[in-house]
Amino acid sequence: MNNTEKPARGAGRAAKSGRPDGARSAARTASAQRRPAAGKGVPPSPLTGDKPYVMSAVRLEQLREVLGLILQWEYPADAVLSRWMRAHPKLGARDRAELADGAFDVLRHLRRYRQFAESGSGPAARRLAILGLATVFSADVLNAGLSDKEQEWLARVRRIDLASLSRSVRTSMPDWLDERLASIEDSEALIDALNQPAPLDVRVNPLKAEREAMLQRMREGGALRFDPEPTPYSPWGIRLQGRPPVNRWPMFENGEIEVQDEGSQILAALVAPKRGEMVIDYCAGAGGKTLLLGALMRSTGRLYAFDVSAARLARAKPRFARSGLSNIVPVVISADNDQRVKRLGGKAHRVLVDAPCSGLGTLRRNPDLKWRQHPESLAELREVQARILRQAARCVAPGGRLVYATCSVLREENEDQVDAFLAENTEFKRMDAGEILKDRCKNLTLEGPYLVLRPDRHGTDGFFAAVLERASP
C-alpha cells in the first residue's frame, strides 16, 4: 500500500515517505520567504574572501550533488536524501526543505526537464538543478546564482508551450507506464494528480483521543499554521498542509496521533475487525495499519503482525509501545512454508494482505518510483503478490474474510490478481466494499465491489482493496 508509515519491501515496494523526517520536515510554505540575494546587505563569505555568499548558487551546487546520488537509482530517493542530510548536519531546516523540494520536483518532472536540459551549455546536471529550484525560489533569488547565459536559457525554457510536447514527456512518465495509465478512465486527471505533492495526513488513536478534540488542540496551538482539517472520508483522519514536524509534537510522542494517509485508514475500516477476534496483518511492515486494527479491536483478541523483515518489525515496536495496545503479537515469518503460519491455518477471522507492489499510487510522495520500476520488476512483483495471497488465504477461518490490498493503480496488480485467485479458490467470494464501509465512511461512494481510491477523485494516494469471504461449512 501506499502508506506513509511503511518502508519499502520486496522489489520496488513503495517507500512510505509521508512520515516526517529531517529531509522534508520543514513547511513548504516557508520557502516563499527567502534570504536576500547577493548584492547590498550580503556579507562576504568567510570561504571566498571578497566574493559575497550567494545562497541560490550554493543551493544549486548542493542540489546537483544530491541529484547525482539519487539518479543512480540504487536506493529510494528519500533514503538517499536523508543520508546526505545526516552527512551535512549544519544545514538548517529551511535549507533542508529547499533541497528536498527541489529534488522531488526534478523527480516528478524528470523526463521533461531532461529534454529541456539538452539545450544550453555546460553540465546538464546543473540545468536539472536550476529547473528544480525554479519552483522553490523567486526569480530574483534564483537569478542571483545564475550566469547571464543560464538566465537566458531558463527564460527560453519558460516560454515553451507544454501543450506542444507529447503526453509522456509533458507528464514525465516512462513510455511503459504511460501506456498502462492511458487505459485507466480519466487518465489525464489521474496523472496530473500523481505529479503533485501530497499533503500530510495523520490519524488519531481511537484508544486515546477523539478527532474533534484533537482538531481543537491543533487549532489552538502551533499546528494552526499547517491548516488542520478533518479528512473527508476517514472518521479518524486530520489533513495538514506543508511539512509539519509531527514527530516532535507531544500528541505524537504520547501515541495520540500517528502519520497515516487517509486511504490507508479507510483500508483498516474495510477489514472491520471486531473485539475478541483473531486477526492477521500479513505484511505488517512498520505497523501503521496494525495500530488502527488493534485500536478498532479495543486492544482485545489477538492481532498478529507478520512480516519477513525483522528490521521493519523492530521499527514498529516503538509505535506499538506508544499506542497503548496490548493485543499485538509481532512475528517474523519466512517467505515460504513458515511453520507458524501453518499452525494458524483456518483459524483467523480476518486476514489483511497489504501486498508488496509497485507503489505507483504513491507517486505524489515517491516520484522516483516511476523511474525505479520497470515491466520486469512489475512481473516479479505479480508473482510475489499471488504467492502471498495464496499463503495468507490458508489462514482464513470458514466464514472469515481475506482483504487483498495494494497502493498501485494498475489493474494487473489489482483486479487481475483477485480474478486469478478466485478462479483457483472457489470457496471464496467477493464482498461489496461499499456496503462494508457505508456506516463508518459515510461520505465515500464506490463504484463496483472494490475499494478504489485515486488522488484526483478522493485526495488520497492511489489504493485498491478487495474483500473476499470464505464460505462456511
| pLDDT surpasses 50 at 132 | yes
**Residue closest to 453 by CA, chosen among 272, 179, 172, 194:** 194
- Distance between CA atoms of 14 and 19, rounded to whole angstroms? 13
**How confident is residue 473, by pLDDT bands cut at 50, 70 and 90?**
confident
Q: Closest by alpha carbon to 328, among 295, 283, 285?
A: 295
**DSSP E strand boundaries for 71-213:** 200-204
> Distance between CA atoms of 339 and 172, rounded to whole angstroms?
46
Burial of 415 (0-12, 13-18, 19+ CB in 10 A): middle
The pLDDT-based confidence of 121 (bands split at 50, 70, 90) is: confident
CA angle 181-271-400, nearest 5°? Answer: 115
pLDDT of residue 31 exceeding 80: no
Q: Give the Cα separation of 331 and 175 in Å (integer).
A: 40
Closest CA to 61 of 122, 118, 139: 122
Q: Mean pLDDT throughout 208-228?
A: 96
Cα 14-18-22 angle, rounded to 5 deg = 110
Mean pLDDT of 290-316: 96
| Sequence-ordered alpha helix ranges (H) in 183-330 | 187-194, 211-220, 250-253, 262-271, 288-296, 310-323
Cell of 343: 499452525
pLDDT digits (tens, 9 = 90+) for 405-445: 999 999 999 999 999 999 999 999 999 999 999 999 989 99
CB 350 within 8 A of CB 280: yes
Dump pLDDT digits (tens) for 321-353.
999 999 999 999 999 889 999 999 999 999 999
Stated as kind and residue range, the H or E segment containing 389 is helix 375-393
> Nearest 5°: phi and psi at 157?
-60, -40
Q: How confident is the model at residue 243 (pLDDT cuts 50, 70, 90)?
A: confident
Q: Tell me what pLDDT residue 4 has.
A: 42
Burial of 99 (0-12, 13-18, 19+ CB in 10 A): buried
In whole angstroms, what is the distance from residue 181 CA to residue 173 CA? Answer: 9
pTM of the model: 0.87
Q: Do the Cβ atoms of 351 and 345 come closer than 8 Å?
A: no
Residues with Cβ within 8 Å of 5's Cβ and at least 6 positions away in sequence, in order, are 16, 18, 19, 258, 259, 260, 264, 285, 286, 287, 288, 289, 319
Tens digits of per-residue pLDDT, 249-258? 999 999 999 9
Alpha helices in 4-109 (DSSP H): 55-70, 77-86, 93-108
How many other C-beta atoms are found inside a 10 Å radius of the C-beta of residue 432?
13
Return the sign of the alpha-carbon dihedral for residues 382, 387, 389, 392.
negative
Nearest to 273 by CA among 214, 325, 313: 325
- Regarding predicted confidence, which is higher, 455 or 47? 455
Q: What's the confidence (pLDDT) of residue 34? A: 41
- What is the Cα–Cα distance from 381 to 407, expressed in whole angstroms? 13
- The confidence band for 39, taking pLDDT boundaries of 50, 70 and 90, is very low
The residue among 77, 69, 8 whose CA lies nearest residue 358 is 8
Neighbours of 18 (CB within 10 A): 28
pLDDT tens for each residue of 372-388: 999 999 999 999 999 99
Phi, psi (5° rounding) for residue 29? Answer: -65, -25
Q: What is the mean pLDDT of residues 23-35?
A: 41
Measured over the CA atoms of residue 436, residue 441, residue 445 and residue 447, the dihedral's sign is: negative
Question: What 8-state DSSP symbol labels residue 32?
Answer: G
pLDDT at residue 228 is higher than 80 = yes
Cα 431 off chain centre by: 27
- The stretch 51-70 carries a mean pLDDT of 91
Amino acid at 168: S
- The pLDDT value given to residue 52: 62
Q: Check pLDDT > 80 for residue 141.
A: yes
pLDDT range class, residue 51, cuts 50, 70, 90: low
Sequence length of the chain is 473
Query: Catalytic residues, which ones?
Result: 407
Rounded to the nearest integer, the mean pLDDT of the chain is: 90
Would you give the DSSP letter of residue 11? T
Strands 396-406 and 348-354: parallel
Q: What pLDDT was estimated at residue 23?
A: 44
Q: Taking CA 273 as the corner, what is the angle to CA 267 and CA 274, rounded to the nearest 5 degrees? A: 155
Cβ atoms of 63 and 102 within 8 Å: the answer is: yes
Residue 470: beta bridge partners? 428
